[in-house]
Structure 1
């Protein structure tokens, strides 16, 4: 019996599908977020590439080992997204809107350890803005 070939992603790795990433529940204000977690180089490189949709109140949390000005782009990302950049304590420093399938850089104004991508407009729709804190991140938030 022949095995079905799985599409290849960045650096010729098989593409992880929804449900194959670890998950965490986050909150900001009264809003609950179901987030897939990208905490290693391969997962951060793939992110939400090739996805055609996101479930309501779902997104992807990017976790970095070091505080830095981690920038994002939307190459091979089929859906428009909003991104919130956060410091160690989950406080949002910046929120940016990102158009699908573009290679524009989206960078925070301050060094941070986390970024959360959600469906475009999610943060605005829920009244989430810089200075608010996302809870449920590692480190007891």
Structure 2
């Protein structure tokens, strides 16, 4: 289960969609019925492309990646917020390790936290964020993704 804490601001704009090199097969709807979009992280001169499911509603955000046994290396889930807020997630019923990437309104990564499967310990943003990205655990370190890098979708 995933939850977000109280909103700290209003009127946040989310990073804009950017043209990409993704094929039509990589967008559309996921097996879980969620919208899928291409997402790019610009990291130290390199770009890393992901296909992410979009958890837009409170229900989709509450369920997140619970009860999944795997997540492919270049897949993930994005949680865009209607308002910039302090965000906190827990991993109850989440079976796989995840990197939780907290994204400010300008698309810059604020912080990255490693989430432990099934943990009830909160994983929290360092300040208000406009979105949260979940990717497979350890993938950020593997690709050299760090706070200060840019996320676009």
**What is the aligned counterpart of 1:22 among 28, 35, 40?**
35
Displacement after TM superposition at 1:55 (Å): 1.6
The residue that corresponds to 1:38 in the other structure is 55
Displacement after TM superposition at 1:113 (Å): 1.1
Displacement after TM superposition at 1:88 (Å): 1.2
Task: Specify the structure having the higher radius of gyration (Cα).
Answer: 1
Displacement after TM superposition at 1:99 (Å): 0.5
Structure-2-length-normalised TM-score: 0.76
For residue 144 of structure 2, give the secondary structure of its aligned residue in structure 1.
Answer: coil
For residue 38 of structure 2, give the secondary structure of its aligned residue in structure 1.
Answer: strand
Structure 1: where are the runs of 5+ without partners? 1-8, 11-16, 137-141
Higher relative contact order (CA closer than 8 Å, sequence separation 6+): 2
What is the number of residues matched between the two proteins? 122
Q: Deviations over 1:86-140 (max 9, x none)?
A: 011210000000100010101111101100001101111100000011112xxxx
User: How does 1:45-60 map onto structure 2 within 5 Å?
Assistant: 45-60=62-77
The residue that corresponds to 1:73 in the other structure is 90
CA distance in 1, matches of 2:31, 2:114: 22
- The two structures, once aligned, show a CA RMSD in angstroms of 1.6
Structure-1-length-normalised TM-score: 0.82
The residue that corresponds to 1:93 in the other structure is 110
For residue 81 of structure 2, give the secondary structure of its aligned residue in structure 1.
Answer: strand
Displacement after TM superposition at 1:28 (Å): 1.1
